[in-house]
Amino acid sequence: MKFNRRSFLAGAGVIGAGAFTSYYADWTAADAAAERQPLRMPPLIDARKEGNAVALRVQAGTTEFFPGRASASLGYSGSYLGPSIRVYQGDDVEIAVTNTLNEDTTVHWHGLLIPAELDGGPHRIITAGNVWRPVLPIRQPAATLFYHSHVHGRTGVQVYSGLAGLLLVTDEAERALALPSEYGVDDLPVVIQDRQFEDGLMVVPQGMMTMMQGRRGNTILSNGTPNATARVPNRLVRLRLVNGSNARIYDLSFSDNRTFHWIASEGGLLDRPISVSSLTLAPGERAEVLVDFSNGQAVSLKTAPDTNMPMMMGPLAKARNFAKEILGGQGETVLQFDPVGGHGAPSKIPERVVERPRADPSKANTRRRFVLNMGMGGMGMGGMMGGGTDSGGGMVINGRPFDMNRIDEKVRLGDTEIWEVSGEMMFHPFHIHGVQFEVLSRNGGKPILRDAGTRDTVVIREPVELLVHFNQPAEIAPFMYHCHILEHEDNGMMGQFRTI
């Protein structure tokens, strides 16, 4: 497969509907003809088997995403992405992170409920050549979590280049359910990313449009694998779906329109499985689903074309919508599944999963309001061309760009609050460090189906009310809240709070 198309992401030009539709059609035809590759499986580190002492090495290297074409990349203890680390509720796990890069980095434990000084945000820098040894107390239910770089101004570039991996929390309640749990066989992590390739080499998009819409790509990777195929048993399989893209929102469904069962959100297992035929996943979000492959038929996980664009980019947004109308029925392949063993016995889906206590909104102590703004102030070309600055470049929350030296909010430890969050010009995934929350309302009405469960990341544009629980201390360092479009975050759409 030859990659000789230059993406609009590499510059500041706006292309018309005809050219954009041609781009999508070319992508779809190339995708259909591309040679499939076996799904790469991140190695699994079981923390208990390692004495709850795990080592990660942040390193630069090269990765052959396509045979014979070695791309520059970053990874944790490997050339791209990192191992899946299994930890157990109740344990204390030391993770020694050695930075062998020629630049600063951090490791943020996205979704882990731990004190702020262990959280790995932009204040917890690991300078070149140094080691960070946090001891992480695992005190939350089973869940699929996500670790990644969070160094301010370079988060987008470092994550795009490969600095991300999974942290899998398990507990006794999960193990008692007898869910599919054989890692890499019927329990599959699937980190979904879009990356830009030219002539088979991964490139890092730059330019004005990159900052405005976030880094996007012309190729979808699953666990770093383009055109991926997973061989699965002809029975129930658990997929741990993780949106590891910098900016793209996926609208996932199967090519045969089969029903599958959503069993866990970012905060862990739901009360009961929810039968769905499609599921959206924004950057930073995770979802666990059960899929029945007992019919033995090959099938593909697909996504609709990406249409989440700033409104100011009218021609391009219209072009994306036009492409969606033309190509929406085809979609783009995320991952193909080939069941092994022919037709099998249909699998039984559990009627209930795990009961979780629900918080009482009437006991919320405080209400706060946040608006994710994309104003034009400060958006000169100098603020748009790099990997991020402290000037904000128009990316702000409540009219203010991120300032490492400013605490935006102070919260009492142990309180529950209502945060109303809305966004401007496009959909934004909103992430809060060190907490879990429930969605109370969306645009003044009831939450949508996808809002179910406890969460740490949620898609907003219209006002969304969140019931947020503050149970982790933030005295030595603050926690962050931000848009999880990483280029928005890098350019100022982030704030910080302390719990006191």
Residue type, 34: A
Note the pLDDT of residue 198: 97
CA distances from 171 to 91, 139, 174, 177, 262 (A): 10, 10, 6, 11, 19
Note the pLDDT of residue 9: 30
Burial class from Cβ neighbours inside 10 Å (0-12, 13-18, 19+) for residue 431 reads buried
Contact yes or no for 395/488 (Cβ under 8 A): yes
Contact yes or no for 27/34 (Cβ under 8 A): no
Note the pLDDT of residue 132: 98
- Between strands 164-170 and 84-88, the pairing is parallel
Note the pLDDT of residue 382: 33
Determine the Cα–Cα distance for residues 77 and 98; give it in Å rounded to an integer: 10
| Domains along the chain with CATH numbers | 361-499 (2.60.40.420)
Note the pLDDT of residue 376: 53
- Spell out the per-residue pLDDT of the chain, length 500, in tens: 222 323 323 333 333 333 333 334 444 434 444 689 999 999 999 999 999 999 999 999 999 999 999 999 999 999 999 999 999 999 999 999 999 999 999 999 999 999 999 999 999 999 999 999 999 999 999 999 999 999 999 999 999 999 999 999 999 999 999 899 999 999 999 999 999 999 999 999 998 888 899 999 999 999 999 999 999 999 999 999 999 999 999 999 999 999 999 999 999 999 999 999 999 999 999 999 999 999 999 999 999 998 898 865 555 555 555 555 544 456 899 999 999 987 877 778 888 888 877 778 888 989 999 999 997 544 433 333 333 333 445 899 999 999 999 999 999 999 999 999 999 999 999 999 999 999 999 999 999 999 999 999 999 999 999 999 999 999 999 999 999 999 999 999 999 999 98
Contact yes or no for 252/399 (Cβ under 8 A): no
Please indicate, yes or no, whether the overall pTM of this predicted structure exceeds 0.85.
yes
Note the pLDDT of residue 322: 52
Note the pLDDT of residue 330: 62
Note the pLDDT of residue 316: 52
Q: What is the 3-state secondary structure (H, E, C) of the chain?
A: CCCCCCCHHHCCCCCCHHHHHHHHHHHHHHHHHCCCEECCCCCEEECHHHCCEEEEEEEEEEEEEECCEEEEEEEECCCCECCEEEEECCCEEEEEEEECCCCCECCEEECCCCCHHHCCCCCCCECCCCEECCEEECCCCCEEEEEECCCCCCHHHHHHHCCEEEEEEECHHHHHCCCCCCECCCEEEEEEEEEEEECCEEECCCCHHHHHHCCCCCEEEECCEECEEEEEECCEEEEEEEECCCCCCEEEEECCCCCEEEEEECCEEEEEEEEECEEEECCCCEEEEEEECCCCCCEEEEECCCCCCCCCCHHHHHHHHHHHHHHCCCCEEEEEEEEECCCCCCCCCCCCCCCCCCCCHHHCCEEEEEEEEECCCCCCHHHCCCCCCCCCCCEEECCECCCCCCCCEEECCCCEEEEEEEECCCCEEEEECCCEEEEEEECCECCCHHHCCCECEEEECCCEEEEEECCCCCCCCCEEEEECCHHHHHCCCEEEEEEC
Q: How far apart are the first and last CA of the chain?
A: 56
Length of the chain: 500
